[in-house]
């Protein structure tokens, strides 16, 4: 970076994006606690984000035409994320009922992404990366077994959250291929437009008969708009700008702060308590993910 002012802007952008992503688990959990239909939650988040991203991308003249040969890749991209990802994240979070646990599991995405990065794109994986992978496991267990035991129902929630993790890993593989041809605004805009279309049939089948516009109370609209505008649009744009300045590896290190932000935010809002075991688990996971992304100098 050329000067101090540019550095302040870049680091402020990435920290703001991470804060929004940390609170996304809290806002999603808030909607689920109000019995807002999970499919409707994701559908309207995608729809609102798609409208805003299209307006921003079109106005900024960033929207590119997709080549016919890449139609299949875009359809696969959206199938993995947001479709499978948000099904796993939303229903998993509904079962475990813990934004902290949800964000901890989702924070392991950079770890599992090491494997396809090495096998498909021939990225170099060092011994310290592997150490980081194994360091995170006891941290996750400390959070999962927070009260000494875990219900059988929670296992399904954890499995669904890991389904979201692996969908995100697959997404990263596909998006890296598309990013060679298209800018991030184009990918993000079509991702959310197609995402809304993917969830529309599920919304009609499962939630349409029971859904009513009266559900859009201020307590529902507020977190829903936060998710669409801040987490799906603003944070993504800020993250893109940070990647351009810092690079993928250095920018992604900041995402390890998401679990800590989720836990602290949930504690401040009175949704969850923080004890020494949970704090230790969060610390270990964050440390493991950071180590897993370190590069040999």
Q: Helix %, strand %, coil % for the chain, to 5?
A: 80, 0, 20
Q: Helix 4-33 crosses helix 218-225 at what angle (to 10 degrees)?
A: 140
Lookup result for tokens 């399904």? 156
The tokens for 75 are 């359809």
Lookup result for tokens 């080549």? 67
Cβ neighbours of 12 (radius 10 Å): 12
Domain range summary for the chain, segments of one domain joined by +: 4-292
Chunked into runs of 10 residues, the chain (297 residues) has average pLDDT values of 76 87 88 91 94 93 94 95 89 82 77 74 68 74 62 78 89 81 88 94 92 92 95 82 65 72 81 78 79 61
Listed residue (149, 43, 39, 49) closest to 94, CA to CA: 39
């Amino acid at each position: 970076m050329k000067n101090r002012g540019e550095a302040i802007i870049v680091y402020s952008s990435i920290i703001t994006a991470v804060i929004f992503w940390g609170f996304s688990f809290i806002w999603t959990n808030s909607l689920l606690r109000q019995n807002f239909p999970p499919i409707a939650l994701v559908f309207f988040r995608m729809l609102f984000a798609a409208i805003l991203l299209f307006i921003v991308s079109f106005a900024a003249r960033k929207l590119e035409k997709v080549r016919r040969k890449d139609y299949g890749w875009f359809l696969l991209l959206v199938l993995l994320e947001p479709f499978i990802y948000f099904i796993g994240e939303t229903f998993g979070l509904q079962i475990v009922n813990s934004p902290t646990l949800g964000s901890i599991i989702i924070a392991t995405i950079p770890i599992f992404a090491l494997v396809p990065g090495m096998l498909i794109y021939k990225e170099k994986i060092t011994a310290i990366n592997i150490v980081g992978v194994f360091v995170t496991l006891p941290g996750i267990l400390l959070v999962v077994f927070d009260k000494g035991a875990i219900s059988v129902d929670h296992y399904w929630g954890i499995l669904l959250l890991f389904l979201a993790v692996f969908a995100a890993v697959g997404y990263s593989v596909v998006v890296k291929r598309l990013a060679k041809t298209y800018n991030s605004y184009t990918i993000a805009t079509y991702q959310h437009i197609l995402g809304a279309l993917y969830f529309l049939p599920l919304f009609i089948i499962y939630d349409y008969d029971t859904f009513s516009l009266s559900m859009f109370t201020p307590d529902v609209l507020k977190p829903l708009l936060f998710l669409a505008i801040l987490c799906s649009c603003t944070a993504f744009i800020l993250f893109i700008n940070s990647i351009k300045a810092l690079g993928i590896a250095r920018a992604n290190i900041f995402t390890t702060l998401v679990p800590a932000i989720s836990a602290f935010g949930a504690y401040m809002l009175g949704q969850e308590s923080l004890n020494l075991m949970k704090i230790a688990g969060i610390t270990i996971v964050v440390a493991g993910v950071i180590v897993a992304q370190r590069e040999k100098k």
